[in-house]
Amino acid sequence: MRGLCHVLLRIYYVTLGLTLLYGDKLVTTYLTQGVSGLLKVLTGLELLEFIVFAAVFIDIARAPDCDVVCSGTVLGYIAHIPVKPFLRTHRGWYHSVWVAIYVSVVVSAVITVLAMGVNIISNHLGFGSVLPLVKLAITAFSASFLSYLFHLVEDSLTLRGIRWFGVRTRGPLRTGSSDIVVVSAIVLTSALATWVAYYFTGSLSQGAVLGFLVLVLVFASMLEIRR
């Protein structure tokens, strides 16, 4: 699947996740307190963790494809350097769950070191340690691991497929030709389901649940097509 498709899907997952977690809260606050209430809720969220999560999640979207070309991923590029001489085939071992763990450990370490740097500087300036290291390390690891795993799931929808623990899983998608059209159609269908459910139930979170279920159903049926 093309890199653009992976990135597009990541942006949609983040949006859907936010809708699921905070949708109702945002709507009620907006209706009762207007824009200022909305801003209060938004700044009340753990904004730093969210930014780190979203940035890592989107950056790692293309990391598994470093076994062909390493482009569009900063953290994926760093993790790829030590293993570069051992990579022979595209979608070989670099498209596996084990590498998802390896890359996520590297990503978590990089984010922790960066945060430590910020803490050292802020300590020096007399502000104390401003960043929560453990929280950020866990956030970075989970964002990277999920993003890598989703890449493998998405590649499973293509003709070439992915080898999951020795078993190859394939789908009907042709990489590079129609994949972006199909991915856009999947995203639009899921988003439409979210809005229809919101319209009837009045709850954005419930809408997001339906949108998520539609996404799972479409992925599952695409895998079923090739059986």
Beta carbons within 10 angstroms of residue 65's beta carbon? 24
Residue (24 or 65) nearer to Zn ion, CB: 65
Residue (119 or 169) nearer to Zn ion, CB: 169
Residue (65 or 179) nearer to Zn ion, CB: 65
CB 35 within 8 A of CB 90: no
Q: How far is the CB of 86 from Zn ion (least distance, A)?
A: 17
Q: How far is the CB of 171 from Zn ion (least distance, A)?
A: 13
Q: How far is the CB of 96 from Zn ion (least distance, A)?
A: 11
How far is the CA of 34 from the CAs of 19, 31, 54, in angstroms?
Answer: 18, 6, 26
E strand residue ranges, the chain: 162-164, 167-169
- Phi, psi angles (nearest 5°) of residue 159: -60, -40
Q: How far is the CB of 55 from Zn ion (least distance, A)?
A: 20
Q: Is the Cα dihedral 108, 114, 115, 119 positive or negative?
A: positive
Residue 28 half-sphere exposure toward CB, CA atoms < 13 A: 8
Query: Residue numbers of the site for Zn ion (CB under 5 A)?
Result: 64-65, 155
Residue (97 or 130) nearer to Zn ion, CB: 97
